[in-house]
Amino acid sequence: MIDYSSSPSNTEERFFNRDLSWLSFNYRVLLEAADKTVPLYERIKFLAIYSSNLDEFYHVRVASIKSLTSVKRKKLETLGVDPFMLLEKIRQEVEWQSEEFVRIFYKQIKPELAKNKINLILGEPALDVHKGFIERYFEEEVKVYLHPELLRKNKIVHFLRDDALYLVVKLRNKPFKKEETEESELSPKGIRYALIQIPTHYFPRFIHLPKIDSQHYYMMLDDVIRYNLGRILPGYDILATHSIRLTRNADVEIEDEFEGDLVEKIQKSLKKRRTGMPVRFLYDRKMPKSMLKYLRATFEITRLELVPGDSYHQDKDLFGFPNPVGSHLERTPMPPVSLPELDSFPSIFDAIQARNWLLHLPYQSYDYVIKFLNEAADDPSVISIRATQYRVASNSAIVNALARAARKGKKVTVFVELKARFDEAANLASAREMEDAGVNIIYSIPGLKVHAKVAMVTRREGDGKKRYAFLSTGNFNEKTARIYADHGFFTKDSTITTELKELFFHLEDRSYKPPTFTKLMVAQFNMRKTLVALVEREIKHAKEGKAARILLKVNNLEDAGMIDLLYNASQAGVKVDLIIRGVCCLRPQIAGLSDHIRVIRIVDQFLEHARVYVFHNLGENATFLSSADWMTRNLDRRIELAFPISDPKLKEEILQILDIQLHDNVKACELDANVRNIPVPKDEENPIRTQTLLYDLISKGRLLDYNK
């Protein structure tokens, strides 16, 4: 791992670079694949997650940094960034992590598969008993989808599809003279290069070969093609074969559009995403320099885009690696549990009328959210439903409920955020489905992203109206709710629902009077100001010699102003505990700056996704759940929500969960001043693994009994 502790800039010493910090997080994901206590197929899944994460990082973050290389030097100085230096640091770190990935896969995962009678043949000679099958499979299934293309450097502009897999084949015309050997490669007679796209969109990446006794065998689709190249390239001798993959800029740059039809802009931008500028040319590190030089010239690849890799790319395909031997190699399921007390009510509205409810996902069932909207759709007393949509599931039960409500004559308004990166097309499709059913769709506001997760139902009760709301730290997505650790809150609190009504009115009509919020924190209105006041109150208490503490759980901590405020809190003596899954630009445990700040990161079976803010406030523990990370974009350029949890029992549940996470000694890593993952020392006699412990406690209804 690269050590970035010796930075030339004071800014870099005070704030760790965002992108290098993200790479530290992704390396923590990779460490799960190396953990021998994790079930084998769970380890394979973490390899796939690591690869998928890295793809998105290049699509967006590296693409953004690379765009700065064309900015004039004086402008870069005002921005305080050297993109060339940063790209080089990223390259070094990614290359180091890539070597770790290969080591884990080949030295740990592949032998472990073999121990379980699952043999993955990678670049090895096929067994004689399999050769006939490989040839037939190729001829009968694969061959028709292959279209070799001879490369013509400086004559034809060849286009590489974004994230498609290709084989580059070095060929020589037949017949050839014996004296023409590999050494004459620089000026050979008859040497050609061919390009073949691997049709992963038609076939599984892992081909199941005939079983031998109890042994299973798999071969990569890449190698099935390699074994049969002579069948599609007759008249040539195959001299070498190496794989490549090009990643293009996928940042469609639509967040700052202020004019025009945003839907149309997004549709056009999605097309551009497939043809964006190159940001990563991934190539087999065993590739000869002469071949790489030829490819660079042919595809106009610069040094900035070059990234060496393994012989096989697109490792996110490991998500689909088959398991032919049984579930004992997979994780133990933790099916979500119900809330018996909530189930005892005839209607979810009756339950919310009785009291506020808190869901701890994915330990508890997300079905209550779907039930909330389904009941709203069918209840004749319901007048209207308002909701936000950020990332929606395919074939969504949420979308179906909202559409049904509209068809039944209820006023349904849904704010659809089209600018949810990589989910734009899905959100647009679901929006049109709801629109066809009569839902009033409010599309993205240009220049503003709505990231808040909230739904509100208005019912006619007695002589008046009553509002019921569901607010969450996670998306309205029943599929991700099974794997994302979030909190959801049902309430009828009149202040909260009134403020939500005002917010929705403002989103529906920007000329509507700006809302005033007293209970809710809303970005662009009062969130930053309120957070600053809450931190400063802790600082004041610490300076007065009183107990002071800040406990913050977010996905990302990047905003310089808030980090400086946390540094000030530490220097005043405030105890600061941070649970940060991803980006952390704060540098903890630096003498005189952040002595009282501890940062931990938890990576396990579920994705830690909740945002929770707790301020000690002389023992009252002001507690908020939120959709917002502490990033500048979230605090200043989006609509985000943070809502208070005041019910003593519900607040105690949240504090108990956070306390367990802070004491995790199995899956937690503590971040040092250089944001490296330092495993928390394990306690073999008293192991605390947050997610399994929480599932056990919550499923038995004993969360508040823990440690009593």
> How far, in Å, CA of 609 to CA of 599, rounded?
16
Three-state SS at 602: strand
Contacting residues for 94 by C-beta, under 8 A, at least 6 apart: 23, 54, 307
In sequence order, what E strands does 335-478 have?
A: 357-361, 382-389, 411-416, 440-443, 449-450, 453-461, 464-472
Contacting residues for 650 by C-beta, under 8 A, at least 6 apart: 356, 358, 489
Are the CB atoms for 269 and 252 separated by under 8 Å? yes
Question: Which of 68, 467, 500 has the alpha carbon at shortest distance from 251?
Answer: 68
Which residue has 């395909």 as its token pair?
317
Question: Which of 348, 411, 403, 408 has the alpha carbon at shortest distance from 378?
Answer: 408
> How far, in Å, CA of 309 to CA of 234, rounded?
29
Three-state SS at 181: coil
Q: Which of 451, 541, 596, 616 is catalytic?
A: 451
The alpha carbon dihedral of 471, 527, 610, 704 has a sign of: negative
Query: How is residue 396 written in tokens?
Result: 């969504």
Report the run of H or E that residue 351 belongs to, with start and end.
Answer: helix 348-354
Residue 20: φ, ψ to 5°: -70, -35
Question: Which of 7, 212, 11, 2 has the alpha carbon at shortest distance from 91?
Answer: 2
Helix/strand/coil percentages in the chain, nearest 5: 40, 25, 35
Are the CB atoms for 466 and 320 separated by under 8 Å? no
Distance of CA 297 to CAs 285, 291, 300, 574, Å?
18, 10, 5, 58
596 is a catalytic site residue? no
Question: Which residues sit opposite 64 in a β-bridge?
Answer: none
Are the CB atoms for 191 and 185 separated by under 8 Å? yes
> How far, in Å, CA of 236 to CA of 186, rounded?
18
Question: Which of 487, 689, 673, 473 has the alpha carbon at shortest distance from 584?
Answer: 673
Are the CB atoms for 364 and 337 separated by under 8 Å? yes
Distance of CA 465 to CAs 382, 457, 460, 526, Å?
9, 10, 5, 28
Residue 25: φ, ψ to 5°: -60, -45
> Which residues are catalytic, by number?
451
